[in-house]
């Protein structure tokens, strides 16, 4: 439980009880920590460093990427049974508003998201969740891998928003956890021409070794227009790419992405940085670029992500860096804060 900035202590809370016949209680096995390039993930490290804004919300339970074993089910749950190994989708919408009914439950105004104050997270022994937000995993998929279904679903959603498809040329800006998974999903969707950009050479080396994609290192001393020209020259793309998936949230990176798009291209903002940023709006208008936002995951994304993982079309095992025991959970946040590893896990109960 988080009591304040960098102050985590173990505590006891009442064990959850089934109160609704559609609820499930999961015995948590692993919880992921991510602080790279997605707002929901970065929030965990931010909370660790700075604490909860509202002191009345403390102590607070962290964690939103999780897997585990079904402990108890309500009388009307039919999709899982006690003992099933599951991945957890950590956002629970109202199911009643027009957005939910249209399949866009990720932007439901009443959504409750694990470890998003005031909703407590998954870094507990037992976690209660609506039964339709747990997904049984096949025997050959480990509970460690199942943790990454959550960020993989973010990548699936981004690719679906961007309409990635065979024959398209795609530029992924940022090669953190989300950027790597976005590129991996694009590859699984049949895209061959995928370019990955990052200012960190080590991350680009990881991208090349895992995905075999062409990479590009923008210069911090160059303007977005100059970086665009360099990228197009090195990639031999005079028109530019069809789709840009921006996974850093950095303003200059987004500007480079807009310039790198071919006329009629699609720009998808995946990473979140400053709340207000400037875009080269003239280029957006002149090239009739479509600018899209993306937030978490929506209807069908979790099932598709789990299918990609189960089929082997996306392999997340190489992304798992460190596994820290529950008793040393704060070390996992520190590792991530320092930028060490790709995906650090907290082990609640060994497989």
pLDDT digits (tens, 9 = 90+) for 250-307: 999 999 999 999 999 999 999 988 999 999 999 999 999 999 999 999 999 999 999 9
What is the pLDDT, as a whole number, of residue 11?
Answer: 85
pLDDT at 35: 58
For residue 347, the surrounding DSSP H or E stretch is: strand 343-347
Q: Which has the minimum average pLDDT: 78-82, 158-162, 200-204, 242-246?
A: 200-204
Nearest residue to 291 (alpha-carbon basis) of 310, 306, 307, 278: 278
Closest CA to 189 of 212, 170, 216, 209: 170
**Residue 59, preceding peptide bond in cis (omega within 30° of 0):** yes
Sketch out the chain's domains with CATH numbers: 2-148+316-347 (3.90.180.10), 154-293 (3.40.50.720)
* pLDDT at 47 (0 to 100): 54
Q: Which long-range contacts (CB under 8 A, 24 or more apart) does 238-241 make?
A: 239/263, 240/169, 240/265, 241/169, 241/170, 241/171, 241/193, 241/195, 241/265
Strand, coil or helix: what is 177? helix
User: For the segment 51-82, what is each residue's pLDDT rounded down to a tens digit?
Assistant: 544 455 567 788 999 999 999 999 999 999 99
Q: How far apart are CA 147 and CA 24, in angstroms?
A: 18
**Per the confidence metrics, is the pTM higher than 0.85?**
yes
Strands 91-92 and 112-113: antiparallel
Dist. CA 179–CA 205, nearest whole Å: 13
Residue-wise pLDDT for 126-151, tens only, equals 999 999 999 999 999 999 999 999 99
Beta bridge partners of 216: 197
Return the closest-CA partner of residue 157 out of 314, 304, 315. 304
Please count the other Cβ atoms lying within 10 Å of the Cβ belonging to residue 20: 13
């Amino acid at each position: 439980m988080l009591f304040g900035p960098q102050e985590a202590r173990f505590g006891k809370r009442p064990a959850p009880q089934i109160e609704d016949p559609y609820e499930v209680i999961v015995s948590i096995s692993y919880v992921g920590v991510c602080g790279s390039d997605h707002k929901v993930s970065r929030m965990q490290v931010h909370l660790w460093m700075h604490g909860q804004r509202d002191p009345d919300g403390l102590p607070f339970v962290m964690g939103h990427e999780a897997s585990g074993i079904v402990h108890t089910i309500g009388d009307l749950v039919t999709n899982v049974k006690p003992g099933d190994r599951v991945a957890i989708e950590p956002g629970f919408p109202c199911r009643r508003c027009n957005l939910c009914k249209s399949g866009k439950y990720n932007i439901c105004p009443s959504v409750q998201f694990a470890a998003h104050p005031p909703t407590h997270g998954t870094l507990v022994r037992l976690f209660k969740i609506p039964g339709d937000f747990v997904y049984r995993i096949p025997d050959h998929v480990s509970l460690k891998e199942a943790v990454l279904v959550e960020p993989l679903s973010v990548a699936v959603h981004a690719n679906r928003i961007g309409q990635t498809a065979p024959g398209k040329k795609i530029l992924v800006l940022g090669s953190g956890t989300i950027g790597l998974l976005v590129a991996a999903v694009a590859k699984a969707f049949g895209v061959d021409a995928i370019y990955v950009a990052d200012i960190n050479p080590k991350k680009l080396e990881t991208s090349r070794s895992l995905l075999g994609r062409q990479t590009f290192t923008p210069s911090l001393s160059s303007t977005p227009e100059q970086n665009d020209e360099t990228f197009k020259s090195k990639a031999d793309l005079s028109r530019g790419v069809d789709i840009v998936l921006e996974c850093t949230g950095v303003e200059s990176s987004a500007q480079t992405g807009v310039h790198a798009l071919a006329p009629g291209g699609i720009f998808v903002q995946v990473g979140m940085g400053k709340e207000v940023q400037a875009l080269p709006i003239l280029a957006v208008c002149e090239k009739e670029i479509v600018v899209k936002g993306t937030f978490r995951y929506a209807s069908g994304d979790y099932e598709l992500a789990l299918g990609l993982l189960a089929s082997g079309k996306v392999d997340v095992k190489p992304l798992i860096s460190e596994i820290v025991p529950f008793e040393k959970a704060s070390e996992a946040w520190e590792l991530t804060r320092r930028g060490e590893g790709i995906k650090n896990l907290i082990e609640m109960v060994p497989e």
